[in-house]
Structure 1
Amino acid sequence: MLSAADNDRYNDVEPGSTLHDMARRYWLPYLRSEALEPNGPPKKVELLGEKFVSFRDGSGKVGFFEEQCPHRGASLALGRTGDNALTCIFHGWKFDVSGTCIAAPSESNPRFCSTVKVPAFPVREAGGALWVYLGPGEPPVFPEWEFCLLPPEHRRARVGYTDSNWTQNLETLLDSAHIGLLHAQPVKAEINESVVAIKGVHAPKLSVVDTPYGFQAYSRREREDGQVYLRVTEYLAPFTVLNGSMRTDEGRVLFMIPINNRRTAFWRFEWDMVHTQEWWKKQSIERGALGLKFVDHDDFLHNSLDRGREDFGQNREAMKLGHWSGFKDLRAEDAAVAESVPIVDRTKEHLGASDLVIAKMRQRFFQGLDEFERGGKPLGLGPNGDGSGIAYTDLRGTSEVVAPDIDQIEYHNVELREERKALRRAFLEAQGAGAAIKERQHA
């Protein structure tokens, strides 16, 4: 349970809140790389309750500005691209990717342009996405995730949108207890082996280990065969979760990026050292054959729910026949729960033993927010407060069936990590020296 004041501090990412100021200190994904074409139309972007615009010039560089033109406030999202600039259609003021005004045809003073600049922010392109830093001063170290190292055909970046506060989506990712219940009947085309492994065992034994960037959540479920299903979730405060796969040659990083207080961008960065984009495409076709509409990677949740209906299209007839949730897939189940109440009133909740990880996440969140208010470093960026010293490349979640006497911390942090590093090294060597993706720094 939270007080009303703490619930507001937890949820509120919009201008004027402490969380808004802290959230600007991170690299945030905002568009897939493919969404911006050279000299193509600019795109509107909303982050943390603020409006921006982004475009790619003819040389491939990316600009990220506040949306309003500094002249009379017209939207630069209506602007023209070309000449390595974005031009406001109102009076023709032209800005390069740094935000510098390079032409103002309505002004006769040749020095006028030097007095005008649209607020612009640094952009990084990596892992198939565009990332922006909205904060003051130098940005933190850019996190070199494992997916950034793999060739494009072995990774994908996807984003979907939910009409709910970011906290509800993040807490769902951290909640291991719901997996065997809400997701009791995964669809054939996307059977999740972790769900199968824990079938019939609902109450996990939970523990949490603090890290410089957040924590590791350990969940153990005893199986009928005497083995244990071990699930380890890495939490990087405040917006990032790495949950596990039962294969050592694939992984995923999930981000819950607040658009505003009632809308969230759910980013999925996935990589696979065995399968390629063609395999993912085949999986999409199979989903379609089961009646599960698959949309493009710029909004993979678009057809998960029927948002025109009060019950989101829940199938009560299927529930009468034994289906648990009445929703067609895992994504729909999670989205329906999150969107059922866009901003939860946590003054009325009652946490149980299975909510240990949620309670820990909130504890770390408020400790970090309080420290930031006192002038401290942003939460989750390690002891130096700038992301240095965090081995982002080696971070992954774990989802494994193991022996009951295993040292779970040693297994996750040493044995599996070394196995994955060796596998990645061998994969990149097999791909050749050009396999690693070279990131581009934009003005």
Structure 2
Amino acid sequence: MNRRLTGVGPGTPGGALLRRYWQPVALVDELEGPRPVRPVRALGQDFVLFRDEAGQVGLIDRACPHRGVDLAYGRLEDGGLRCPFHGWLFGTDGRCLDTPAEPEGSTLHQRVRARAYPVQLRSGIVFAYLGEGEPPALPDFDCFVAPGTHTFAFKGLIECNWLQALEVGIDPAHASFLHRFFEDEDAKEGYGKQFRGASDGSDLPMTYVLREFPRPRIEVDGTDYGLRITALRRISDATTHVRVTNLLFPQAFVIPMSAEMTITQWHMPVDDTRCYWIAIFTSFAAPVDHARMRAQRLETYALPDYLPRRNSRNEYGYDPEEQAGQTYTGMGHDINTHDQWAVESQGAIQDRTRENLASTDKAIAANRRLLLRAMTAVEEGRAPMMALDAATAVAMTGPATIDAMAPTEGWERHWRAAAARRRAAAPWSAPALAAE
């Protein structure tokens, strides 16, 4: 069962399932610069992503159909990507446009194609459909509805299987420990930082709430998009902290970053033992400060491959003095590093036969059941969850997520109303979901 849950290559049950969805294979930023050509590895396969002279973006198999050489070293010219070996030229749709070494009048190019994959650019991410048949529609989630001024995309490599990397994001209990800070910052200094600001309707820093109230009551509800996960921390008889997050089946989650911003984050498998987290940060208030957000993240990730500067080879920057008095892990103040250590230290592919799930792991168990059911559906020729048609996708909005202080009595009505107000007030006029 562990192999079934974690394998992503061609011919595996998990690979067949994930190929039914759009995969976030790159950032649009990666196609900037003088040579917009990038090798891409996704779901255990190798591709080359490029933008032609007319601005069209294409994704094709990395091996040239002629003799199998690496097209990631191709030349961008004459309306396509030209192989340096014999000059064969391929367009973004995979058509062979030219075979210049062949005799004059040759029609060979008309019978040759590189396999091309549908792509679309959404909110700073290049999504590709790597499966067979007609691609599904992407839902009208907030991260796709908001304009580029109010979204920001980034990514980072994690050296382990995609599922264990995803599972840390649907585990509400770990934040009180893994991301514990012993000192609280001024909330005004928390821009662009997870868990450093205050909750909606409160001046208490999230660092304080997580540190002082480490035993959340967790509720998990099935939804049409996956799971809604609610963590309730009782502050007093009158007040309860409500944190609502969502699993977007099969590979993403939506979590609150601050009172004004959310994070929609995918875990895109490179292969069975590596993945990228790829996130869209969405603001419901002021435009995103792109330069500041990018600069913050480049302090901990190195271009061009978005590799973490703190990693297993330098012990994640572990400092025992910091662990004694500043952070619970001693691995710096970037929570991505904390998560990276937690999931990579389980091994490249976690051995789930050795784990002992607890009551706080109910979302993890529920998601594994969803995955197994969806794999069976694909094997039986049925559409899996979230393989949407256009009409269903347009109707699927949100999903709502929030950190909020709420009355202990009536907390559910309170958080829904707060989330609806935030969405209704967004300058990009996202629809309010009164009955979500």
Tell me the TM-score normalised to structure 1 length. 0.85
What is the deviation of 1:375? 1.4
Partner of 1:345: 351
Aligned residue type for 1:205: R
Residue 302 of structure 1 aligns to which amino acid in structure 2? P
The one-letter amino acid paired with 1:44 is: P
* Partner-residue secondary structure (3-state), 1:402: strand
Amino acid at match of 1:351: L
**2:47 aligned residue:** 52
Amino acid at match of 2:381: G
* CA-to-aligned-CA distance 1:340-396 (integer Å, 9 cap, x gap): 1221101011111111111111111111112222211123336x6x78246444223
**Cα distance in 1 for residues equivalent to 2:177 and 2:292:** 28
1:72 equivalent in structure 2: 67
Within a 5 Å distance, the mapping from 1:203-218 to structure 2 comes to 203-218=215-230
Deviation sequence 1:82-141 (CA, Å, 0-9, x none): 222010000000011111111001222522111100000111011012111111111101
Name the residue aligned to 2:425: 423
* Structure 1, 181-190 or 367-376: larger mean CA deviation: 181-190
**Alpha-carbon offset, residue 282 of structure 1:** 4.2
Change (3 A) 1:373 1:96: same
> What is the total number of aligned residue pairs between the two structures?
411
Structure 2 equivalent of residue 293 of structure 1: 299
Does the 8 Å contact 2:6/2:161 carry over to 1?
yes
Please give the TM-score of this superposition, normalised by the length of structure 2. 0.87
Structure 1 residues 115, 281: CA separation in 2 closer, same or farther (over 3 Å shift)?
Answer: closer
Equivalent position amino acid for 1:325 in 2 = T
Residue 306 (structure 1) shift = 3.8
Runs in 1 of length 4+ with deviation above 6 angstroms? none
2:267 counterpart SS class = strand
- Distance in 2 of aligned mates of 1:26 and 1:182: 31
In structure 1, distance between residues paired with 2:392 and 2:400: 18
Aligned-residue CA RMSD (Å):
2.6
User: Residue 416 and residue 372 in structure 1: after superposition, are their counterparts in 2 closer, same or farther (change >3 A)?
Assistant: farther
| SS of match in other structure, 1:312 | helix
Q: How far apart, in 2, do the equivalents of 1:136 and 1:265 lie?
A: 23
CA distance in 1, matches of 2:207, 2:11: 41
d(CA) in 1 for partners of 2:95, 2:307: 37
Structure 1 stretches lacking a partner, 5+ long? 1-5, 431-443
- Residue type of the partner of 1:120? A
Residues 265 and 387 (structure 1), Cα distance of their counterparts in 2 relative to 1, 3 Å cut: farther
Structure 1 Cα separation of the partners of residues 261 and 56 of structure 2: 31
Percent identity of paired positions between Structure 1 and Structure 2: 27
Q: How does 1:28-43 map to 2 (within 5 A)?
A: 28-37=23-32, 40-43=35-38
Give the aligned partner of residue 251 of structure 2. Answer: 239
Q: State the distance in 1 between where 2:225 and 2:154 align.
A: 24
Deviation larger for 316-325 or 12-21 = 316-325
Alignment of 1:19-418 (within 5 A): 19-37=14-32, 40-108=35-103, 109-185=105-181, 188=185, 190=193, 191-193=196-198, 194-224=206-236, 226-247=238-259, 249-278=260-289, 281-282=291-292, 293-295=299-301, 302-303=308-309, 305-309=310-314, 311-321=315-325, 323-329=327-333, 330-340=335-345, 341-381=347-387, 388-389=392-393, 391-406=395-410, 408=412, 410-411=413-414, 415-418=417-420
Task: Tell me by how many angstroms 1:411 deviates.
Answer: 4.9
